[in-house]
A and B are shown apart, each in its own frame.
Chain A
Amino acid sequence: KQEVTQIPAALSVPEGENLVLNCSFTDSAIYNLQWFRQDPGKGLTSLLLIQSSQREQTSGRLNASLDKSSGRSTLYIAASQPGDSATYLCAVEETSGSRLTFGEGTQLTVNP
């Protein structure tokens, strides 16, 4: 059974810092991995999707890497801003079109 773990559970940083969120998964036979953002009481917004054959994806100040063999992914946020404050969730899809297995998220607070 696939299990996804995210470290740390919560993170508070001053504005402008570069930061790294970590995600690990127990079964490396995944189809893809996605990072989502969730604002309080809201749904999930997809940030980045990394296919199993890829090593990283970038979007603006966000960069996500994937090391499938070791079961790890990182989300790098450059020059953090207060608007980045949210919960960040990673999720793995084991086969195309199948369920997503989520981690419990990292709650990020960026202080002005």
Chain B
Amino acid sequence: ETGVTQSPTHLIKTRGQQVTLRCSSQSGHNTVSWYQQALGQGPQFIFQYYREEENGRGNFPPRFSGLQFPNYSSELNVNALELDDSALYLCASTLGGPNSPLHFGNGTRLTVT
């Protein structure tokens, strides 16, 4: 049990729609990261938030956006869904500080048809 909870577990959307994925981190985990994992691939970094501010972004277009809230929850929003957005989306949080381990949730499986 990592203490990181993601919802929903599975989601099916149609191309062009918008989706919001949610993550609840452990209390005190000020840093949250989101990763996209396509089938058979390693996770790819989308972005990271620290104390409600984005402080790092991977090679993803602006239609991928996020929010972090004071209660240690966060959201990943994806607009104008494309077929290639089908993947497992993973949220990870950490207390921060040197060599603090990342705690991953079980992910949300998004299918875009």
Residues of A near any B CB (own CB < 8 A): 4, 31-32, 34, 36, 41-46, 49, 51, 89, 91, 96-105
Q: B residues within 8 A CB of A100?
A: 33, 35, 43, 45, 102
Q: A residues within 8 A CB of B97?
A: 96-97
Smallest beta-carbon distance B74→chain A, Å: 15
Count B-side interface residues using an 8 Å CB cutoff: 31
Determine whether B66 belongs to the interface, using a CB cutoff of 8 Å to chain A: no
Taking a contact as CB atoms under 8 Å apart, the answer to whether A42 and B106 are in contact is: yes
Residues of B near any A CB (own CB < 8 A): 2, 4, 6, 31, 33, 35, 40-45, 48, 50, 56, 58, 88, 90, 92, 96-99, 101-107, 109
CB-nearest residue of chain A relative to B48?
A99
**A interface secondary structure, majority:** strand
Taking a contact as CB atoms under 8 Å apart, the answer to whether A32 and B106 are in contact is: no
- What would be 22 A-B contacts, judged by CB atoms less than 8 Å apart? A4-B42, A31-B99, A34-B101, A41-B107, A43-B105, A44-B43, A44-B90, A46-B101, A46-B102, A46-B103, A49-B101, A51-B99, A97-B31, A97-B97, A98-B48, A99-B45, A99-B48, A102-B42, A102-B43, A104-B41, A104-B42, A105-B42
